[in-house]
Amino acid sequence: MDLQAIARDIPDYTHFLTVDELNTSSRRLVAEFPGLASLRTVGQTRRGDPIELLTIAGGPRQAFIFGGPHPNEPIGTMTIEYLSRRLCEDDALRAELGYTWHFIKAIDADGMRLNEGWFKGPFTPTNYARHFFRPAPFDQVEWTFPIEYKTLKFNSPLPETQALMRVIDEVRPTLLYSLHNSGFGGVYYYVSERCEALYPTFHALPEWFGLALDLGEPEMSNAVTFAPAIYQMLSSKDTYDYLEQNGVADPAQTMQSGASSAEYAGRYGSFFLVVELPYYDDPRVNDQTPTDILRRDAILQNLDAQDEFDGWMTARMDAVKADLRQETPITRAVNAFLGMGPAYRQAERQWAQTSEETNRPATQAEYFSNALGSRFYRMLLLGMFARMLEAEIATGNSSPAIRQVAAEARARLEEQGADLEGRLNYRVLPIRSLVGVQVCAGLATAAYLRDRG
């Protein structure tokens, strides 16, 4: 398999496809390749739309790949667009790998429709925040698989999660590939187990496409590092234990979610892969030059800034909550993220203050994660808050408090967005580069598992 030839073949995509456009494309592919590609319904979304599984017939091994596990993550939908067509058109590649391929392009299609306002651009951080939606933990398809662990007892899988469970139970995949992506930073990976033979390829792929590895702070400070920018897949049990060890009395109340698809598929020995890719980067995301600030202090300053932001948000939520009339996915998300923030920050603060890992100078990458990368992610919650209030006004809610706070939220979003963009040396990453890394990492992993036997 010539991965570099495949890398050169990735189209120069200019925008992301909507859910309806993705569905139309799937039907076109099946019509072009009858007998090879097929579609069948494996469930329904919460709003009642069909969840369709696209299957491309092949060898005895099974690969299951799904896009949009979080609905603000459409890179994977374009990865499936390319990969499904390539597998249909390239008989030699399909035969060499020896898999039957199963795809769901957008598993949280309902939530993805709430993000489509930014899919065609302009691709600035501020415009992304204006139209951003990410569900509350208990509304996330990827994190609502059943689990019982200590006080964490979750057995309310969403309809979309149930569809994933049915497919996993049926095909028992050798490779389970959940197509996540991040927002700002560099490329990094999660895998279910050590796979040293893949690390050189994973490290080289970003360079092929002009991208950078993310060598700043990991998403969770308890992440197990296998190699630079390559981590063991996080589990709900790991998160629970981390919170418990760092002073959270009942982690289950903080987490508000269940297990992941990786944990569920572990019963079948499935190898799990995630390739996290951003929409934007900055030269500092992989700069290993030491700074003159301790990593511990950089983390604590970031936590202080998050405390200030949450205080501002909470005060304004308190001012309007009696007047809110709608219960929407965005409302649930804002309330959930505000509610769970203090406990996570408590655990992070205790870890930062006591761990020897933080008692050294921060690298430029780590300082960037704490000082600027975190500001980007706070802005996304602010964008959802503004959307929530403006939706109330659009339905005729004439509350003066809601109008006042909506204006304050929108003004702060625009002000913070302009200030952050001015402090960043950011670039908008080409969609073809992001798709290319996910495609090539997935194919390399499929070949690795084939050769491992």
The CA distance from 215 to 334, in Å, is 29
The CA distance from 102 to 176, in Å, is 10
> Average pLDDT, stretch 205-234?
96
**In terms of domains, do 294 and 438 share one?**
no
DSSP annotation of 372 reads: I
Other Cβ atoms less than 10 A from the Cβ of 421: the count is: 14
Q: Is 446 left (phi over 0), alpha (psi -120 to 50) or beta?
A: alpha
**In terms of domains, do 222 and 198 share one?**
yes
**In terms of domains, do 351 and 214 share one?**
no
C-alpha triplet 228, 234, 236: angle, nearest 5°: 165
Q: What is the pLDDT of residues 365-387, one digit of tens each?
A: 999 999 999 999 999 999 999 99
Q: What is the pLDDT of residues 388-397, one digit of tens each?
A: 999 999 999 9
Q: What is the pLDDT of residues 392-447, one digit of tens each?
A: 999 999 999 999 999 999 999 999 999 999 999 999 999 999 999 999 999 999 99
Token couple for 50: 């069909």
pTM of the model: 0.96
The CA distance from 258 to 256, in Å, is 7
Q: What is the CATH number of the domain that holds 122?
A: 3.40.630.10
By residue count, the chain amounts to: 453
Domain count within the chain: 2
pLDDT-derived band at 233 (thresholds 50, 70, 90) equals very high
Assess contact for 383 and 132: CB atoms under 8 A.
yes
**In terms of domains, do 323 and 227 share one?**
no
Alpha-carbon torsion, ordered 181, 187, 188, 189, to 10 deg: 60
**In terms of domains, do 348 and 270 share one?**
no
**In terms of domains, do 157 and 226 share one?**
yes
| pLDDT mean across residues, the chain | 97
**For residue 18, what pLDDT is reported?**
98
Other Cβ atoms less than 10 A from the Cβ of 266: the count is: 17
**In terms of domains, do 73 and 160 share one?**
yes
**In terms of domains, do 349 and 404 share one?**
yes
**In terms of domains, do 264 and 312 share one?**
no
Residue 453 has pLDDT above 80, yes or no: no
Burial call 389-406: b when 16+ CB within 10 Å, e when fewer: bbebeeeebebeebbebb
**In terms of domains, do 386 and 415 share one?**
yes
Angle formed by the axes of helices 295-320 and 400-423, nearest 10°? 160
The CA distance from 301 to 304, in Å, is 5
Write the CA distances from 296 to 184, 304, 377, integer angstroms: 22, 12, 20
Alpha-carbon torsion, ordered 308, 310, 313, 314, to 10 deg: -110
Helix locations, 209-260, DSSP H: 236-245, 251-255
Q: What domain range is 8 assigned to?
A: 3-282+429-452
**In terms of domains, do 388 and 319 share one?**
yes
**For residue 67, what pLDDT is reported?**
98
Assess contact for 393 and 406: CB atoms under 8 A.
yes
**In terms of domains, do 204 and 301 share one?**
no
Cα 52 from chain centre: 21
Assess contact for 440 and 204: CB atoms under 8 A.
no
Identity at 123, one-letter amino acid code: F
**For residue 267, what pLDDT is reported?**
97
E strands, 278-321, where?
Answer: 280-281, 290-294
Residue 1 has pLDDT above 90, yes or no: yes
Which single residue is written with the structure tokens 């590649």? 93
Q: What is the pLDDT of residues 278-333, one digit of tens each?
A: 999 999 999 999 999 999 999 999 999 999 999 999 999 999 999 999 999 999 99
Name residues whose C-beta falls within 8 Å of residue 398's C-beta, 6 or more positions apart in sequence. none
Q: What is the pLDDT of residues 120-144, one digit of tens each?
A: 999 999 999 999 999 999 999 999 9
